């Protein structure tokens, strides 16, 4: 059957959607038979997105072999025990079964029993040092048995997957990758193997050197791993082509796209997609934590509250639910409660990375720096590449007034997200505090060049230039800043805009460019805090003008508006490598 399916896949084209649907339905069935719920769910979800098949084309139930028939009774009994989470019991009745299906279930229940016991053990160990020692005792035996079968080439796609999982749990990453790749070749339809592979691949280089089966499943895999590796552009492209191929109704793809937009901080797009997703799949809990993060960033209290209550009704003991509720409380500034819910999320799943970081943020809000550091450190332990945790650590030390110390953490965060302006601005601020103005300038400029989210880098840069008496550069920065703000169409912060105009007015006044100076001074009058200064300046300009020659009457359009953004206003400095003098890591 597996061989037939593999042969039918033939290439990564999506021309025959019916065939694809058939394959999906059959693999969903086969995954369920083996207790692989998640892969089954994934396949069925995808199958659901495709048009229904007529009766005649429905895939036949998998044919039973002689061996299957022999093991049928034991299998049926064991499967029901397995579904009831009585793994040891299931394994007991399956011993000696020869058919592939029964054998897989036998091994899988032994593995799961070991995992379950491990989790239970963690709660009551004998001492602090034993905490980390609790391990799945069954793993070693499983590995020995599976490797024997593997050598004899007796494992099917599912068996290979299980073997890979065992290897990964034993920290044998290299071997595990090989086995998963093999599993993907033998049974490309099994999403679980692909997903495990995603978790093991840490960079683009590794991906390049994998020899993957050339099937349509590979497209899904690539899209997924691009998202994981923060290669958002590529991921979005892949997903778009999948949608074009006919999977437009798949909630899986929609959610992945939303997550991708979230990762590149395109909040509006992500929000609209998530809203769409919730319309299609109102009882969905997966990915809702990401959705709540977006709502949080936008401070959309009512929406977040609705989401939290809704999810709580569906299932309150889910990690995502706890996370959403935590976010909700955090937005309402009830940080203790928020921390409590994040803790609950971690109790439900200790490997749930996001909650550690979020909890760190909550502790930060509560000014409990040591607990925050603890939480962030945990997050880093789970995933070293979690830039938010590194950034959070940096912030914590910044709050503790240790600007030099936090440089290291910001730099780590910056390494992980080289194009994120927030880390660069934070780095710049630290350098500024340390009076390393040259470095600070580099950081701010870089932050502007990579696309500043908070639009503060330019103002800070301008102020630095001001400090260093580099008035021309300062003026340039302020001009760019004002252009930036106006091109956005919204005025973010009045205060900074007014300071910019005030500086420009004075600058032009000094340069004796009366027209520009008076234009800026007039702008100043529009703001409360600079009104008086603006007026005074206008008066002075008038006086000086009267003394001097009569000015030309034609007043051009204000130079600072985007309309007059001429070619010579573009930055002369290109983005160069951020060459900070500090040699430290």
Partner 1 sequence: MASVHESLYFNPMMTNGVVHANVFGIKDWVTPYKMALLVLLSELGRTGAQLGLLERRRLNRLLLPLLQGPDMPLSRLRKAIEESCPHLASSVHIRLKLMAEGELKDMEQFFDDLSDSFTGTEPEVHKTSVVGLFLRHMILAYNKLSFSQVYKLYTALQQYFQNDEKKSGTDESDMELTNTEELEGKMEKEELDVPLREEEISCSGPLSQKQAEYFLSQQASLLKNDETKALTPASLQKELNNLLKFNPDFAEAHYLSYLNSLRVQDVFSSTHSLLHYFDRLILTGAESKSNGDEGYGRSLRYAALNLAALHCRFGHYQQAELALQEAIRIAQESNDHVCLQHCLSWLYILEQKIFDSCVLLEHSVNKSLHFGLPYLASLGIQSLVQQRAFAGKAANKLMDALKDSDLLHWKHSLSELIDISIAQKTAIWRLYGRSTMALQQAQTLLSMNSLEAVNVGVQQNNTESFAVVLCHLAELHAEQGYFAAASEILKHLKERFPPNSQHAQLWMLFDQKIQFERAMNDGRYHIADSLVAGITALNSIEGVYRKAIVLKAQNQMSEAHKLLQKLLIHCQKIKNTEMVISVLLSIAELYWRSSCHTIALPVLLQALALSREYSLQYLASETVLNLAFSQLILGIPEQALNILHMAIEPVLAHGAVLDKGCAMFLVAKCQVASAASYTPQKKIEALESAILNLNEAKTYFAKVDCKEQLRDVLYFQARLFHTLGKTQERNKCAMLFRQLHQELPAHGVPLINAFK
Would the CA dihedral through 421, 424, 430, 436 be positive or negative?
negative
**With CB under 8 A as the contact rule, which of the stretches 194-202, 300-308, 373-381, 541-549 interacts with partner 1?**
373-381
Q: How far is the CB of 392 from partner 1 (least distance, A)?
A: 12
Q: How far is CA 202 from CA 177, 197, 545, 585, in A?
A: 12, 10, 66, 20
Ramachandran quadrant class, 489 (left: phi over 0; alpha: psi -120 to 50; beta: rest): left
* Beta bridge partner(s), residue 215: 11
Nearer Cβ to partner 1 (568/579): 579
Distance in angstroms (rounded) separating the CA atoms of residues 317 and 336? 19
Which CB sits closer to partner 1, 314 or 366? 366
Binding mask of the shown chain, residues 111 to 150, with x at each position contacting partner 1 by CB under 8 A: -------------xxxxxxxxxx-----------------
For residue 13, give the DSSP letter. Answer: -
Q: Contacts with partner 1: how many residues (CB under 8 A)?
A: 33
Q: Provide the minimum distance between the beta carbon of 89 and partner 1 in the complex, in angstroms, as a whole number.
A: 20
In the complex, minimum distance from the CB of residue 433 to partner 1, in angstroms, rounded to a whole number: 10
* Tokens read off for 330: 């955090």
CB of 584 to partner 1, least distance (A): 6
Q: At a CB cut-off of 8 Å and minimum separation 6, what does 382 contact?
A: 351, 353, 356
β-strand partners of 11: 215
Q: Residue 66 or 171: which CB sits closer to partner 1?
A: 171
Which of 75-83, 307-315, 400-408, 440-448 is the region at the interface with partner 1 (rule: CB under 8 A)?
400-408
Structure tokens at 135: 């391990």
Q: Does 492 bind partner 1 (CB under 8 A)?
A: no
Q: How far is the CB of 151 from partner 1 (least distance, A)?
A: 24
Q: How far is the CB of 482 from partner 1 (least distance, A)?
A: 34
Residues 26-65 that bind partner 1 (CB under 8 A): none
404 scored as a contact of partner 1 (CB under 8 A): yes
DSSP letter for 563, please.
Answer: G
Selected range binding partner 1 among 67-75, 365-373, 418-426, 509-517, rule: CB under 8 A: 365-373
Among the listed residues 300, 402, 525, 565, the single contact to partner 1 using CB under 8 A: 402
- List Cβ neighbours of 197 (8 Å cut-off, separation of 6 or more): 177, 180, 181, 184, 210, 221, 225
Distance CA 516, CA 531 (A): 17
Candidates 182-190, 297-305, 402-410, 521-529; binding stretch for partner 1 (CB under 8 A): 402-410
Give alpha helix (H) positions in 315-402. 319-331, 335-348, 353-365, 369-382, 387-399
Q: How far is the CB of 355 from partner 1 (least distance, A)?
A: 18
DSSP assigned state of 511:
T
Q: Which two tokens stand for residue 54?
A: 């007529």
The dihedral over CA atoms of 332, 334, 340, 341, expressed in degrees to the nearest 10, equals -10
Report in angstroms how near the CB of residue 405 gets to partner 1 at its nearest. Answer: 6
What's the CA gap between 245 and 258, in Å, rounded? Answer: 19
User: Would you say 324 and 311 are in contact if contact means Cβ atoms under 8 Å apart?
Assistant: yes
Residue with Cβ nearer partner 1 (105 or 580):
580
Backbone angles phi, psi at 215, to 5 degrees: -130, 175
Work out whether 92 is an interface residue with partner 1 (CB under 8 A).
no
- C-beta of 92: minimal distance to partner 1 in Å? 21
Out of 65, 280, 370, 528, point to the residue binding partner 1 (CB under 8 A): 370
| Phi, psi dihedrals of residue 395, rounded to the nearest 5° | -60, -40
Nearest CA-CA partner of 266 in 288, 289, 236: 236
Q: Which is nearer to partner 1, 77 or 437 (CB)?
A: 437
**Please, what is the minimum distance in Å from the beta carbon of residue 172 to partner 1?**
14
Q: Helices (H) and strands (E) in the chain — how many of each?
A: 30, 0
Q: Which stretch binds partner 1 (CB under 8 A): 83-91, 313-321, 369-377, 523-531?
A: 369-377
User: Nearer to partner 1 by C-beta: 285 or 402?
Assistant: 402
Q: Is the dihedral of CA 107, 111, 117, 120 positive or negative?
A: negative
**Measured from the CB atom, is 154 or 381 closer to partner 1?**
381
| Min separation Cβ 418 and partner 1, Å | 18
Residues 328, 326: Cα–Cα separation, whole Å: 5
Cβ proximity to partner 1, 54 vs 132, nearer residue: 132
Helix axes 457-467, 471-488, angle to 10 degrees: 160
Residues 6+ apart with CB under 8 A from 548: none
What 3-state class would DSSP assign to 572? coil
* Residue 371 found at the interface with partner 1 (CB under 8 A): yes
Q: Is 583 in the site for partner 1 (CB under 8 A)?
A: yes
DSSP secondary structure letter of residue 1: -
- Taking CB under 8 A as the rule, does residue 7 contact partner 1? no
- Regarding 385 and contact with partner 1 (CB under 8 A), the answer is no
Site string for partner 1, 237-266 (x = CB under 8 A): ------------------------------
Q: Among 408, 486, 514, 527, indicate the residue that binds partner 1 (CB under 8 A).
A: 408
- Shortest Cβ 132–partner 1 spacing (Å): 4
Using CB under 8 A as the criterion, which residues of the chain lie in contact with partner 1 when the complex forms? 124-133, 369-371, 373-374, 377, 381, 393, 400-405, 408-409, 434, 436, 581-585
């Amino acid at each position: 059957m597996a061989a037939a399916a593999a042969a039918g896949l033939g290439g990564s084209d999506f021309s025959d959607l019916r065939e694809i649907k058939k394959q999906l339905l059959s693999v969903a069935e086969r995954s369920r038979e083996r207790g692989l719920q998640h892969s089954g769910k994934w396949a069925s979800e995808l199958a659901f997105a495709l048009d229904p098949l007529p009766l005649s084309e429905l895939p036949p139930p998998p044919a039973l072999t002689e061996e299957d028939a022999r093991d049928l009774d034991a299998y049926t009994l064991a499967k029901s025990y397995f579904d009831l989470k009585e793994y040891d019991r299931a394994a007991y009745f399956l011993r000696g079964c020869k058919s592939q299906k029964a054998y897989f279930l036998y091994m899988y229940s032994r593995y799961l029993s070991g995992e379950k016991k491990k989790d239970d053990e963690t709660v009551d160990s004998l001492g602090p040092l034993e905490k980390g020692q609790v391990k799945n005792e069954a793993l070693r035996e499983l590995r020995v048995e599976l490797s024997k079968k593997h050598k004899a080439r007796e494992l099917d796609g599912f068996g290979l997957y299980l073997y890979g999982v065992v290897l990964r749990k034993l920290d044998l990453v290299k071997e595990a990758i090989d086995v998963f790749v093999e599993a993907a070749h033998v049974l490309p339809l099994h999403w679980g193997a692909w997903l495990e592979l995603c978790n093991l691949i840490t960079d683009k280089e590794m991906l390049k050197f994998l020899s993957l089966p050339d099937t349509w499943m590979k497209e899904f895999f690539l899209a997924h791993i691009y998202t994981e590796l923060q290669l958002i552009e590529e991921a979005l492209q892949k997903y778009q082509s999948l949608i074009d191929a006919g999977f437009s109704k798949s909630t899986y793809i929609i959610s992945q796209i939303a997550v991708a937009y979230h990762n590149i901080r395109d909040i509006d797009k992500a929000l609209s997609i998530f809203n769409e997703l919730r319309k299609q799949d109102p009882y969905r809990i997966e990915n809702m934590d990401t959705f709540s993060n977006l709502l949080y960033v936008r401070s959309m209290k009512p929406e977040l509250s609705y989401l939290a209550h809704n999810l709580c009704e569906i299932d309150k003991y889910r990690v995502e639910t706890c996370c959403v509720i935590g976010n909700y409380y955090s937005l309402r500034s009830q940080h203790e409660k928020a921390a409590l819910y994040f803790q609950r999320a971690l109790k439900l799943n200790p490997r749930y990375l996001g909650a550690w970081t979020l909890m760190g943020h909550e502790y930060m809000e509560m000014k409990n720096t040591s607990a925050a550091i603890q939480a962030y450190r945990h997050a880093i332990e789970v995933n070293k590449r979690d830039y938010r945790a590194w950034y959070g650590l940096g912030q914590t030390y910044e709050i503790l007034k240790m600007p030099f110390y936090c440089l290291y953490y910001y730099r780590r965060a910056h390494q992980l997200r080289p194009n994120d302006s927030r880390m660069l601005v934070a780095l710049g601020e630290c350098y500024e505090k340390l009076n390393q103005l040259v470095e600070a300038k580099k950081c701010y400029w870089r932050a502007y060049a990579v696309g500043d989210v908070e639009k503060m880098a330019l103002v800070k840069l301008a102020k630095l230039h001001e400090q260093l008496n580099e008035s021309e550069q300062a003026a340039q920065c302020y001009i760019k800043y004002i252009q930036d703000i106006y091109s956005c169409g919204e005025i973010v912060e009045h205060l900074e805009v007014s300071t910019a105009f005030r500086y420009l007015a004075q600058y032009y006044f000094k340069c004796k460019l009366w027209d520009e100076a008076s234009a800026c001074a007039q702008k100043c009058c529009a703001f409360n805090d600079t009104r008086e200064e603006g007026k005074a300046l206008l008066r002075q300009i008038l006086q000086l003008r009267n003394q001097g020659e009569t000015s030309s009457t034609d007043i051009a359009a204000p130079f600072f508006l985007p309309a007059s953004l001429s070619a010579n206003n573009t930055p002369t400095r290109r983005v160069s490598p951020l060459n900070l003098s500090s040699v430290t890591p």
